Structure 1
Amino acid sequence: MTSSDASVAAKSVPLGPDDPRQLGTYTLLGKLGQGGMGTVYLGRSQRGRLVAIKVIRTEAVGNAEFRARFRLEAETARRVARVCTAEVLDADPDAEWPFIVTEFIEGETLASYVKRNGPLADANLEQLAVGVAAALTAIHSAGIVHRDLKPANVILSPFGPRVIDFGIARTADEGSGLTGDLQQLGTPAFMSPEQIESRPISSAVDIWAWGGLVAFAATGHYPFGEGSAQVLLYRALHEEPRLDDVDPALRPIVWLSMRKDPAGRPSAQQLMLRLLGDPSGTGPEAAPAVNPEDVTNVLQGWQLPIPGPGATGPTGTGGYTAGPDDATRLPGGPGGYTAGPD
C-alpha cells in the first residue's frame, strides 16, 4: 500500500482476513461499516476516485430473497438524480460477491453531529430541511421510497446535507414479492403509523420521517421522546409529536408532515415549495417542479460551526450505509455508521 493509500485507508478500519481485496475493477482500502444485509467498504476506482462499496453478506448470497432485494436496490437506486444524495456509480448484483458502488461522501452523520454539538443553528437547520426535501424529491421522482430516513442516513458533507442508504428502498409502483421482516423495515423513532400497523407503504412514510428528522435536528431529541421501541411506536400511533422547541418558522410544516393520515401529508415537492416560501405548497394538488437553482441558492454558504474545545467524539466520514438494518460504525473507524436510531 502506498503512503497515499495509507492516508486514505485511515478513514476506515483495516481489512480482515476474510474481506475481499478486489471487487470488479475496484480496489478495497478498508471497511466503513456493516449491517444486517452486508458490509460497506472504502474503495478506489481505476481512475483513482474514492467510492463506497456495499457488499451483500456472504451467508445471504445463496438466499434468493436477499438476492432479489439487492437486485432491486441496484436497479432502482441508479435512477435517482444526484440532488443531495449519494450518486450510484456501478453495481453487479450477479457477482460472486454482489455489490453496489456509490460516491464516497466525506462528512459526519446528522446523528453524530447533534450528539456531539447539540441542535443545528437556524441557518443550517433551514438548509438541512431544504436539502433533505430535495433529496426526497429526487428519490420519489424515481419511483422509490427510502423507508428508513433517519439522522444516521444523512451525511453533513462540506457541500451540504446528503441522503444516503437506499438499502431498504423499494420501487413504489412494483410489488417485490418479498415477505417477512423485509416488508416492514425502519427505525422505531422515525417510523410512520402506517409502517407500524403494516398498512400499505407509500412515499408519505418518508415525509413523516423528514418531519421527525428536522425536529431532531432542531431540538436534539426524537419527535416522540425517549423510550423502548414499543413505547416510541405506541406514541407515534396515539400521540402528537413534541414540536414545542422547533423553530416557529418550521414548526407548521413539520407538524403537517407528521399527520397520522398519510393522505394529509404534503409531497416532497410540496415540502420544497413551502420551504422556499410558496404557501401553495401545502395544497392537495400536485405541485409544479422545483427549480434546482433555488435549492442551490439555499445551500450556498453552507458551513457547520467548528466544534468547541469541549467537544468530543469522531469527526466522522460517511457514505452509503450497509442496510437494510442499521449499519454499525466499526470500532476505530471515524465513519458515520452508527447503530440503532442514534
Structure 2
Amino acid sequence: MLPITEPNPPFRITRASHVSLFVTDLAASRDFYRDVIGLVVTEETDDTVYFRGLEEAAHHSLTLRRTDGAPFADRVGFRVETDEDIDRAEHWFRANDVRHRRVDVAHQGPTIQFTDGVGTHMEITSSMEVVERKMQRFDEFRAGAPQRLDHFQVVTHDVQAATDWWSQLGMRMSEYTAKDGTEELWGSWMEVKGNTHDLVFTNGRGPRLHHFAYTVPDAVKLIDAADVAGALGFGEEIDRGPGRHGISNALFLYLRDPDQHRIELFTTHYQFMDLETPPIRWDVSDPRRAQLWGMPASARWFFEASPFPEEPVNEPLLSATPGTLEDYLQIH
C-alpha cells in the first residue's frame, strides 16, 4: 500500500546529514576513506576521525570511532531546520512512545538520538560547526572527489511499516519496488530535499545499514575512484559497478571499507519536487530497477549489511527476492 505523506509534519527534517561507524583499525579505515574514496579529514583524535565532502561546510558527514569488538553501524543522521524542531521532535517522540534521548555530540548543536518504528538507529541535529568548503580546491581533489553525503539505504524486515512511519514525518516516496503483480512493498525510496531519496528501505534481515552515499562531480570521478581502489590494493572491495541504476537514474560505484561497511559514490539523481508527480513503480523481478544495463548485483550486495549495536535482527515479512548475479550466471 502506498503511503500518505504528512504535509505538515510535527518537525521539519531537511536532509540526510551524517553517519557514524565503529571500525576495528582506525588508521586503516582513515586511509581508506581519505585515499581510496577521497573524503576530507576534518579532525582526528586517538579514537575518532571526522570526515566531510569537498563541498560541505558542516564539520562532518562521516565519523569513524574505534571499537575493540566487532565493527558495526552506530547511527545515521538527519538535519532538522531549527533548534525549535529539536524541541518539537522531543515532544513528538515522547507522545508517541519513541525510544529517544537528548545527547551532547561533539561539533553538533542540539541533538536527539532515537530508534524508528523498525529499529533503525537514528539521530537528528539542528546545526554543526562550520568549516571551510573545498569545492573549488581542485588541487585537493583525489580519487572520487566526493562532494556531499546524500542518502542512506537501510535493510528492514518490514518495508511497509518503515515507509508509513517516515511518511508521517514528511518523507515522500519517489520510487518503489513491489512484489510482482501487487502493491506489497519490497523497497521504498523516500525524500525530503527534492531529489529522489534521502532514505531508502529495502526488504531483508533488519534493521541493518546497507550503505551510505556521496555524490561525485561526474562519471569520470567514478572511474578515477575505481582506478585508485585498484592501484591501492582495494580492487576486490569494489562491491558493484560502475553501472547505472534504473531507480534514480544515477551512475554508481559501491565499495567496501576494511571492516566491510559499504559506501556508494554516484552521480546525482533527478529532481522530485512537484507534488502532483506520482512515484515510479518497479516489479522486484525487473533487473532494470537496480541495474539499467549490465549484469545484476551479487548476493553479497543484496544480503550483506552492517548491524546496529544491541538491536535484534528480524527476518523479512515479504518472501519476494531479487535475482542475483549468481542466479544470472546459472541461467546463462
> TM-score, structure 1 length as denominator?
0.28
Higher relative contact order (CA 8 A, sep 6+): 1
Q: Structure 1 or 2: larger strand share?
A: 2
Which has a greater percent of helix?
1
TM norm structure 2 = 0.29
